[in-house]
Structure 1
Amino acid sequence: MKSGDFDDIRRRMDSAVNAFKHDIASLRTGRASSNLLDAVQVKAYGSEMPLVQVATVAVPEPRMISVSVWDKSMVGAVDRAIREANLGFNPIVDGAMLRIPLPELNEQRRKELVKIAHGYAENARVAIRHVRRDGMDFLKKSEKDGDISEDDHRREADRVQKLTDETIATVDSLLSGKEAEIMQV
């Protein structure tokens, strides 16, 4: 396997880890973060668009998020989108500004968030395994075509498997850190 092919596998696995990092960053812990609203899609101007394209999100206090909507006619749509995003938030509308107080997380909600984090982690693991499968298929084809020997195939397959194991261990480590952060009272 050429180093470019292996680098492509590494890049694709790294992008799965980065997507996972982005997903768990939007999960709520005890503190307010502007990332909590990253997944919110607003129906605006005839299409769905991310909240950050119609408003500014800020964190003025540890337990408060403020959303400043640029177009006053969009305030209702932004309020509806935040409520329908199933994040457990109830925005308070104040003119073109929405204030979102973050309630304390109860034990049940913490456990739900941990389940969601585990789902994100499983999606990342599946994506990583797909990349591994693609790499292994490439190696089999290369051996069949006579581009590499059986020994090279075995050596490169071990290398791909080692990278897969390391990448999945990274996902597991990130998951356990996020789980501890969520369950911290």
Structure 2
Amino acid sequence: MTWERIIRTGRATGVRIDAVLATVLTAELVAPSRHLWLVSPWISDVPAIDNTSGSYDSVLIDPSNRIYTLSEVLSLLTDNGARVAVVVRPDPHNNTFLNRLRRNANGENLRLLEHEDVHEKTFCGDQWLLTGSMNLTLRGMQINDEATTYKVGTEAAATARLDFRHRFRGLE
């Protein structure tokens, strides 16, 4: 069975995706997926988990009271055994995120691909996926009007991972 929610974000709605992203990543820190896929043409090292109040100390290794970025959390997940595949466009905008991820992640569990034609925006684990119009950038998460579907269920996530494995051979 799949649980699904469409989240419409942007200035007009006043809704942001930050809390959903933090929830997904916190769940991953507790019980990492075997395979995570992040496909986004443009990506920034966005704030991912706000631990300034210490709320996430129990799930972070060597926690500090600060905001953890997406590259930091994905790096922690590779250290915990999750295999992370990231597909982006070859664009200078993505370089800061990619360089931080390369520098900090467990290289054995990280696969990166720059693909000229990628336009899909999906982030998925073993039992969930976020997909829709939103790039994982500050504008995509906090400003632009976006529609993102959050699905929880192994079938939807497995279908997406199989498709990615077929389209982006050699990453998983």
TM-score of the two chains, using structure 1 as the length reference: 0.21
More contact order relative to length (CA 8 Å, sep ≥ 6): 2
Which has more radius of gyration? 1
TM-score of the two chains, using structure 2 as the length reference: 0.22
Structure with greater strand percent: 2
